[in-house]
Structure 1
């Protein structure tokens, strides 16, 4: 059972900065509310109240809302029109698609002198003979019924035949009441035999929600409870299927390298400024509020829209002096981290002693640091461009000479006999 709580009202009062005492408009639709409570004590200034698409069965606890102008109770389980005499400012009342059977309950609105619009379409009482004539006579201040204006001539004719229509309304209501009693008995038996479907069986769930049911208050309540129960079961099953928590450290407490967001990054060692620079290619158009940066002496962790990026550093850094900036053009996140101790560069040796004992100069490869970086390399050697161009030209010239073959005259064989009848080739 869903109740109207202070937390729910504050949640729906965001347009009023969460303040409920001065609230003038409140929408509590589609919340599966079964009972109206606390509103007349907490929200005395209400002028507009939306309570449609719930399972409210009784109109109550609204008498202190003296400033209420519009009340929407459409698509509920209301069977009796009552307890609205205290709403002095009520001008519009919407009771569409409820279960009001006794049309005589409309007389309870005769003291709501400001009531101009009333909607009862979709209720059983609208099928009674003389329904419109009865309402227009009982409520002389009403201007519109079910969206259709009540003319002066229509009201005069209805008032003249009021006794006739009143008898028909009472007779139709008595027949409806008998059907309603039989309906309650049948619903109590049918609902007891229907079991909720198995959530793991999609076909069973589909059959359950596609079955035909009667349009009664009990059916609507039962369907709402089944839907709530299925949501809770689905939520509990999803919680059970949640995977293991992400491990950010090993058993010894050392951090792992993690890149759940699959973003490109570069870790640059800046020897001149004695710092480390971490360049993360964050999504360009993502708002910076989705980023959380945690810089530790030995590792850096960045939350990118809930996904973890963590990298281990080879040098200890100064966390207090570290900075994180976001590029306005590329969207990259650049974290600059000063080192605790300056880096020492080892110069490569250019001499080595051979096996014979002679000292000779050898070409020694300079040591190269392996960078933890992903992405295309931006380095290019421009010194070899001219040499490569000459090599390409030489290969093209050689292939062209091979294609130019010399044409030589073919020497005829010794057995060749020249036939004078054959004309010479021109």
Structure 2
């Protein structure tokens, strides 16, 4: 049984920053609630209350909600309309698909003067002869009944025939109440028989223990369980609050048993990723298509065709020097690489259009292609028989000229203009531009510790 707690309401009040005392609207639908409680104390300012699709058998603890305008109690187990007199501002009441059989209980809504819409579709009382005329005559303030607008002539006629309609409705109501009592007795009897059935008790005990003696008994128990399940849903039964509650509890028990089965440790055979002797295996549990290529930058490219609409947070990539492992929803893709790579320099990219995962893996022993340095010609004097060593000056680079260029550089000046332009003389290749070598004096001593002059 689910109870209405402060934490439940606070979680449903996210739009109000979790504050429940000033709530004007709260939705508690599909929570398997079996009783209305605490709301009238914690949320006095409520205007809209959604309680549809629960297991509520009785309308209670809402009389203090003076500002309540809309109450939705569709798809519950309510049989009587009651305890709504205090909801002074109530304008719309939805009781679709409940079990209201006591139609005379609608007269309790006479004090809700602002009530404009009432929905009773799917209730047993709607099958009574004179149902609509009786409701229109008893509640003159409503303007819509079961989604259909009430006309003036229809209301006048209902008021004129009220006495006869009320008598007919009360007679049908008595018959329905007797039928309901019989349904309750038969439902209680069936419940007692099920509890005393030894086969059902055996199946329940086996499900609770979670184990069987041998595979044959396990298979037999599974077959019996399927037969019981099929019989439960195919067996005809009256549509009553008890049958609806029984179906809900059956589904709840089945859900809990599945959760227990899920929590049990499974003896699943683990796939071997690395053998005992350290050999890495190729594994493709998710059965992805992939391609492995090599580009011009000494990198291997692994294109893994991952599911297109899968979130990237579900991917776990592990790059090792000799293999790559990608885990997707507990399924492992592992590939042994043909060459050693650099894990620290590897990158992973995800395509936004195809969803493919691209791994860029730089090779650890790739060839580094460098440009070959050009060899400089040796310094040659004009005599070419004697070589002169030159000491390089720190911080200054010597410019050398290829002697083979002397002829070409000397003919740069066009013919006919030799008188005005003299050809470039390159008789001394080591001579620097603008610097004239001077003869060394006799008193000069070359001390090794003295730095050269700049």
Range of TM-score over shorter length: 0.5 to 0.7
- Two-structure CA RMSD over aligned residues (Å): 4.0
Deviation at 1:302, TM superposition (A): 2.0
Q: CA offsets, 1:262-296, max 9 Å, x none?
A: 223345577965xx534123147445536524335
Q: CA offsets, 1:137-161, max 9 Å, x none?
A: 3322111223333333443444445
Larger Rg: 2
Match of 2:317 in 1: 294
Match of 1:215 in 2: 239
1:39-58, aligned counterparts within 5 Å?
Answer: 39-40=39-40, 47-58=47-58
Deviation at 1:325, TM superposition (A): 1.6
Match of 2:206 in 1: none
Match of 1:116 in 2: 116
Quick one: distance in 2 between partners of 1:84 and 1:250?
A: 73
> For 1:308, which of 332, 341, 347 is the aligned residue?
332
1:405-424, aligned counterparts within 5 Å?
Answer: none
1:21-32, aligned counterparts within 5 Å?
Answer: 21=20, 24=25, 26=27, 28-29=29-30, 31-32=31-32
Is 2:342 the partner of 1:317?
Answer: yes
Q: Which has the higher contact order (CA 8 A, sep 6+)?
A: 1
Match of 1:281 in 2: 304
Quick one: distance in 2 between partners of 1:17 and 1:282?
A: 44
Match of 1:100 in 2: 100
* SS class of match (2:324): strand
Q: CA offsets, 1:317-368, max 9 Å, x none?
A: 343x4321234566542223456x64689xxxxxxxxxxxxxxxxxxxxxxx
Deviation at 1:78, TM superposition (A): 0.7
Is 2:182 the partner of 1:182?
Answer: yes
Contact 2:346–2:362 (Cα < 8 Å) also in 1? yes
Task: Classify 1:78/1:95 alpha carbon distance in 2 versus 1 (closer, same or farther; 3 Å).
Answer: same
Quick one: distance in 2 between partners of 1:169 and 1:330?
A: 67
Is 2:252 the partner of 1:228?
Answer: yes
Match of 1:264 in 2: 289
Structure 2, unpaired ranges of 5+: 204-220, 369-454
Deviates more, 1:72-81 or 1:45-54: 45-54
Contact 1:279–1:332 (Cα < 8 Å) also in 2? no
Task: Classify 1:269/1:167 alpha carbon distance in 2 versus 1 (closer, same or farther; 3 Å).
Answer: closer
Contact 1:324–1:336 (Cα < 8 Å) also in 2? yes
Quick one: distance in 2 between partners of 1:255 and 1:67?
A: 71
Contact 1:317–1:337 (Cα < 8 Å) also in 2? yes
Q: CA offsets, 1:140-185, max 9 Å, x none?
A: 2111223333333443444445445444444443343333323222
Deviation at 1:189, TM superposition (A): 0.6
Deviation at 1:210, TM superposition (A): 0.9
* SS class of match (2:360): strand
Match of 1:72 in 2: 72
* SS class of match (2:349): strand
* SS class of match (2:111): coil
Match of 2:36 in 1: 36
Task: Classify 1:333/1:43 alpha carbon distance in 2 versus 1 (closer, same or farther; 3 Å).
Answer: farther
Task: Classify 1:294/1:337 alpha carbon distance in 2 versus 1 (closer, same or farther; 3 Å).
Answer: same
Quick one: distance in 1 between partners of 2:178 and 2:352?
A: 73
Structure 1, unpaired ranges of 5+: 346-426
Q: CA offsets, 1:84-111, max 9 Å, x none?
A: 2343433222223322233332232223
TM-score calculated relative to the size of structure 2: 0.61
Quick one: distance in 2 between partners of 1:178 and 1:261?
A: 62
* SS class of match (2:317): strand
Quick one: distance in 2 between partners of 1:284 and 1:172?
A: 62
Q: How many residues align?
A: 339
Deviation at 1:205, TM superposition (A): 2.4
Quick one: distance in 2 between partners of 1:208 and 1:36?
A: 30
